[in-house]
Amino acid sequence: MKVEMPNETNVISIEVVRRSRIEKKLRAECTHIRTSVNVELNHLTCLDCGAHLNAVEWIAQLAEEWDRIQRMTAEYRAAAEKHEQRTRTKCRHCGQFTPVSC
């Protein structure tokens, strides 16, 4: 069986493909978390994708993310409190709540 090698002009380096996929992913889904601020020029630049950002929109996006984190933290604390209440029981003898022994 004879294997024919492709013409080298049709071969693309895997590194080129990998780099283009990474660049495409950064452009499509960049959250602009890492930024650089140029105070003299009043520019905000994303360090990951290189986009020039509107500072007001970036701060608004950051505030929305902070609100989401605060809501998640409050939900977690409420769930932890509920769980803590489930792990305690009322003592038959003294009437006080005590931890449930596993």
Tens-place pLDDT, residues 20-33: 777 766 556 777 88
10: in domain: no
Six token digits for residue 55: 């500072």
- Nearest CA to 90 out of 100, 80, 81, 82 is that of 100
Residue 87: give the domain boundaries: 32-99
Q: Are 35 and 58 in contact (CB under 8 A)?
A: yes
Convert the pLDDT of each residue in 58-79 to its tens digit: 888 889 989 999 999 999 999 8
22: in domain: no
61: in domain: yes
Burial class (CB in 10 A: 0-12, 13-18, 19+), 16: exposed
65: in domain: yes
60: in domain: yes
Sign of CA dihedral 81, 85, 87, 93: positive
